[in-house]
Amino acid sequence: MRKIKTILVGQSGGPTAAINASLAGVIRTAYSHNLRILGMRNGIQGFLEGRVADLTQALNLASSPNTAEQNFRLLRKTPSSWLGSCRFKLPKPDENPSFYQRITMRMNELGIDAILYIGGNDSMDTTDKLSRYFANTGIDVPVVGIPKTIDNDLEGTDHTPGFGSAARFVATVTAELTCDGGVYDIKNVTFIEAMGREAGWLTAAGALAGDICGTAPDFVLLPEVPLDEEVLLARIKARLAEKNNVVIVVSEGVHRADGSFLFDAGSIATDTFGHLAAQSGTAAYLAQLAKARLGVKSRGIELNTLQRCASHAASKVDLDEAEALGTAGVVASLQEETGVMVGIHRLSSKPYATEIRTVPVANVANKVKLIPAIMISDDGFNVTDEALRYLRPLVAAAEEPILGDGLPRFLDAL
């Protein structure tokens, strides 16, 4: 295998509050090995269109150790994807070899020796296809996936960077809204909508509000459990007979037994991977239903993209693990591993302990990790203590922001 001198790194899919921590880990580790570090602008799509940045120059790493360290720290704490992102589905290598020949030509022009791709399910599909094409055509370039997604639905890792910070935000906001909803002596129902197309991990994190304000959500509605609206209304009515303020955390992907969503899916376009491009409206629908059928004050609150970019609520554990996985990605490529994803293996929840392992990316791509039955209550309307034990270590610690004039500082846009 040829000596690695230049690595190419990209970010893809939905951004998170921790994805740049992984990028910081990649750049810091690669720079310490005297590697040339190039970044895809807007993922593999931008790379094909010629948009590539020299990250050593962009971060001014050669100027002084203090400047380099300050920029690494700022990058770690900056939300969203600093390199930009894309949702671009690669064709199958055997169906469109000319497409991959274009990629190879661009790589040869830039002298690329290894590729690291930071992303979720769809990004691991890209990692898998690139590595398989290179292996089948004798191209000696390692391809390594680095996980991220707030949905936490990626196989091959106990949890994904980005999830812990988003979960911390959802738990905190749920507790704050619980306090707010209890102000007036009237009957009211609050629906809080969290992201999650197929898996309800982020919605489950709302149950941690009980650790914050002493009152857990009354119901947690997951996409893993089909919803009967009539049963839900009956449960809400019974709970309102006992208390004034009912709080329900609901996943955007909750659906009925026939598979239909509560919102109008027919009016929403799909992306290149076949996913609904915008999936929201569940909380608003249920709020209107509760108001009409139960005659109580009701509101639907959609957290939307706030949960994936809320760096002010970032989990220190999440940022630490994201950066460590970036480092592990570089190490894996230097050790001649390819077609793998670096992932987190949990050794213990209390005390919390993990280790990083590599797994074949083919075992990860295009698969969805759902919440296991042991973490869902028997009636399907909440989560169990097993879920809380899983979640708590991921959100427990906060990281202080870098301040400038009393306000958080982010790294300037690339």
User: How many other CB atoms are found less than 10 A from the CB of residue 248?
Assistant: 27
Q: What distance in Å separates the CA atoms of residue 90 and residue 79, rounded to the nearest whole number? A: 26
Is 151 one of the annotated active-site residues of the chain?
Answer: yes
Residue whose pair of structure tokens reads 């303020």 in the numeric block: 245
Q: What distance in Å separates the CA atoms of residue 391 and residue 376, rounded to the nearest whole number? A: 13
Q: At 411, phi and psi to the nearest 5? A: -70, 140
Catalytic residue among 113, 122, 125, 151: 151
User: How many other CB atoms are found less than 10 A from the CB of residue 65?
Assistant: 8
Residue 296 carries which DSSP code?
S
Burial 201-240 (b: 16+ CB within 10 A, else e): bbbbbbbbbbebbebbbbbbbbbbbebeeeebeebbeebb
Residue 364 carries which DSSP code?
T
Amino acid at 379: D
Amino acid at 375: M
3-class state of residue 235 by DSSP: helix
Burial 334-359 (b: 16+ CB within 10 A, else e): beebbbbbbbbeeeebeeeebebebb
Angle at 323 between CA 388 and CA 175, to 5 degrees: 30
Q: What distance in Å separates the CA atoms of residue 32 and residue 21, rounded to the nearest whole number? A: 16
Secondary structure E strands in 26-108: 36-40, 52-54
How many CA atoms are closer than 13 Å to the CA of 196, on its beta-carbon side?
Answer: 33
Residue whose pair of structure tokens reads 């919440």 in the numeric block: 371
Q: Which helix (H) or strand (E) holds 328?
A: helix 316-334
Supply the residues annotated as catalytic.
151
